[in-house]
Each structure stands twice: as structure tokens, then as C-alpha cells.
Amino acid sequence: MTAEVRLEGIDHRFGEIRALEGIDLEIGAGEYVTLLGPSGCGKTTLLSVLGGFVTPTRGAVRIGGRDVTRVPPAKRPTTTMFQDYALFPHMSLIDNVGFGLRMAGMGRRARRARAAELLELVGLEGAGAKRPHALSGGQRQRVALARALAVEPDVLLLDEPLGALDLALRRQMQDELKAIQRRVGTTFVHVTHDQEEAMAIADRIVVMNAGRIEDEGTPSRIYRRPHSLFAARFMGETNRIAGRAGAGGIETPYGRLDRAAPAGEVVLCLRPESLRAAGAFRIGPARVRDAAFFGTHVRAHLAPEAAPEEVLVAHLPPGDPPEPGRTVDLAADPEDITIFARGA
Ligand code: ATP
């Protein structure tokens, strides 16, 4: 089951703290959305507003067209999966997964059949008789997912669901979560502060900062064409170059950039992988400060001769890293540069 979600003009205060301000968001039925942002930006509060654990100070929550702003969690078509999984240690996996169905009054036989189907969906077929303590972290996470999906919510809310897993398992579970979501078609809203996780998993990323939405869109759009400097920096490493926009283009420490922008002080954002040996925007020779081999690229810090007090990060082609002190020619394609008004 699945449904679309609409958040309209949501504000929330905890006493003096403004946790959410002016949140308007539409999520399509069957979409996988991640809420991404630094600690304290309001992600969990927004998820709690969706799940019914927090009633917003202002605004409305609609799920499947129905106003649920004041509907308690158990009566909403949502299920929330918390980071600690909260499995019942004394119950078998089949009973853990069937718990919500039992609460809903489903008979034992039907419940066990449905729970077995869900354990199969998450790759734990035949493990129904086990207890949670006999499982690895990744397996517990799968049981929690099966239990959350057993009650067929329209919307599944996931709060840092992979936070307790080590990096390799996290990456594997990201792929699995996405594949399972595709199979069941339920709307997923997933909170994370990990930018790579958001990119790996989401149809759409919502970047939050200080209780507001800074940007929302596909991972590639936000990475390549962020709508704010904050979103640019949160989505990955970026070089910032100061400039002044005028009628003839943008003056920078490296010469003129042939791009139009409203007149005034600007900041140019340039991803490390956009720095190349050749391109229409020439930065010129730059001295290597340090460089390290990363498999797919060499990550180097470089001091450009035209502005030696600046340090640029570049992803150079893979190979032996250049020795510190060596000079490398740097340039970029003007279209790979994102321009923001200074202070925006
Ligand atoms: P994290 O990634 O650390 O969980 P977050 O982005 O999920 O952070 P929230 O937990 O939503 O952020 O918190 C948003 C703001 O609201 C923070 O300033 C936080 O201190 C505050 N806050 C959250 N819950 C409460 C509460 N129950 N009472 C008072 N203040 C709260």
C-alpha cells in the first residue's frame, strides 16, 4: 500500500526553540525521500510530525488526501522504524514480525504465513524460529523492516535506520532497502545525516538547515546545481572562489569567468572532480601541497600561483600521486561552476 504526503506550512516550537519553520513539502505515492541535514536541523522532528508523535504548532499534514494533523500514531497509515529496532528479545522472529498483525486481530495461522512471507522478502527465509539475540546487526535491521512492512503502512518512516551498522554493511543495506522499497511500492521517508547514504538511496533528497528546507530535488540535481551554498557544501566537498560579477562576466583571482550573474560579490563553487588540466576557465599553474591515491582518483591540495594563499582540492586522474612542490595546470568548464551571491 502507498499514499502521497503533503506538509503545508509546518512550524514547530519546543518552548523557545524553533525546530521547524515554514515547511512545505509534497511527497509522491511510492517515492523514496530522504531528509538530509546536520544534527539539530529538525529532521527527526519533521519525521515525528509525519508519524504523529509531535503535533506541529502550525500547519497541516495530509496523507492520501486526508488531514491527519491531529490523528495519533496508531491511527495513521504510517509506521515508524526507529534506529534501535526495538525488537522483542523473548519472541521468535516470526512473532516479532507478526506482532502488529496480532494487535490488529489477525488469526495465528494467517499471521504466521504473512510473517514468513516478509522474512523471505528481507532475505531471512527459514529463520522464523530464531530469537533476535542470535542475529547480526544487519539481520536485526531486516527483521525490523519486515515487522514495519507487515502491517502494510502507506508510508514507512525510517529514523537513521542504518546508523548502528558498520560502513560496509551500511552500504549493502542501502542497496537492499532501496530494492525492497521498489518491490513493495510503499512511500519511504528516511532520515539521515550521511550525504552518501542519501545519494545512494533516494529518488529525492530534502536538504534541511536550522528547521527549514534549503533545497530539494534528485541527488544529481542537488549535487550538480545546488540552490544554496549550504546545500552545495552539505552534498559534498566543494571549492569556493570569491568573485565580482559585472556586465562583462565575473572577475576572479584567476581571470574572467564568462558567465552571467547579477552584479555584485559572488562565490563560485567548483567540485574537486571538475578541476581538470584543460577547460575554458583557466586557473593556471598550481603547486601541489599534498596528494594521495584513492583508487578512482588522486585527491590533491594545490596552491594556485595566481592566488597562492588559496588552497584548492582537486580529484586528479588515478596514477602515482604527484610529489609535493610539483606544478600542475588547472582549469574548469564554466558550466561546471555554480554561482551564488555572497552571503546567500
Ligand atoms: P539529530 O540528527 O541530532 O537527531 P535532527 O536534525 O533530527 O538532529 P531534531 O532532533 O529534530 O534534529 O531537533 C531540532 C531542534 O529541536 C534541536 O535544536 C533540538 O535540540 C530541539 N528539540 C528536539 N526535540 C526536542 C524536545 N523534545 N524538547 C526540546 N527541544 C527539542
In order along its 344 residues, the chain shows pLDDT tens digits of 899 999 999 999 999 999 999 999 999 999 999 999 999 999 999 999 999 999 999 999 999 999 999 999 999 999 998 877 788 989 999 999 999 888 888 899 999 999 999 999 888 888 889 999 888 888 888 899 999 999 999 999 999 988 877 888 888 889 989 999 999 999 999 999 999 999 999 999 999 999 999 999 999 999 999 999 999 999 999 999 999 999 889 999 998 999 988 999 999 999 999 999 999 999 999 999 999 999 999 999 999 999 989 999 999 999 999 999 999 999 999 999 999 998 76
Q: Which residue's alpha carbon is nearest to atom 1 within ligand 1?
A: 39
Closest ligand 1 atom to 193 CA: 2
Query: Concatenated DSSP letters for 303-323?
Result: EETTSTT--EEEEEPSSSPPP
Task: Answer whether 8's CB lies under 8 Å from 24's CB.
Answer: yes
Instruction: Look up the pTM and report it.
Output: 0.90
CA of 7 to the centre of ligand 1 (A): 19
Q: Which residue's alpha carbon is nearest to atom 16 within ligand 1?
A: 19
Task: Answer whether 268's CB lies under 8 Å from 257's CB.
Answer: yes
pLDDT value of residue 122: 87
| Sequence-ordered list of residues with C-beta below 8 angstroms from that of 113, at least 6 positions apart, any chain | none
CA of 180 to the centre of ligand 1 (A): 29
Query: Concatenated DSSP letters for 32-55?
Result: EEEEE--TTSSHHHHHHHHHTSS-
Closest ligand 1 atom to 47 CA: 11
- Report the distance separating Cα 195 and Cα 63, nearest Å: 27
CA of 194 to the centre of ligand 1 (A): 17
pLDDT value of residue 162: 86
pLDDT value of residue 168: 83
Q: What residue ranges line ligand 1, CB within 6 angstroms?
A: 14, 17, 19, 37, 39-45, 193
- Report the distance separating Cα 280 and Cα 270, nearest Å: 14
Closest ligand 1 atom to 46 CA: 11
pLDDT value of residue 217: 97
| Mutational pocket test of ligand 1: of 45, 49, 54, 55, the residue with most ligand atoms within 8 Å of the beta carbon | 45
| Sequence-ordered list of residues with C-beta below 8 angstroms from that of 45, at least 6 positions apart, any chain | 12, 19, 20, 54
- Report the distance separating Cα 270 and Cα 336, nearest Å: 7
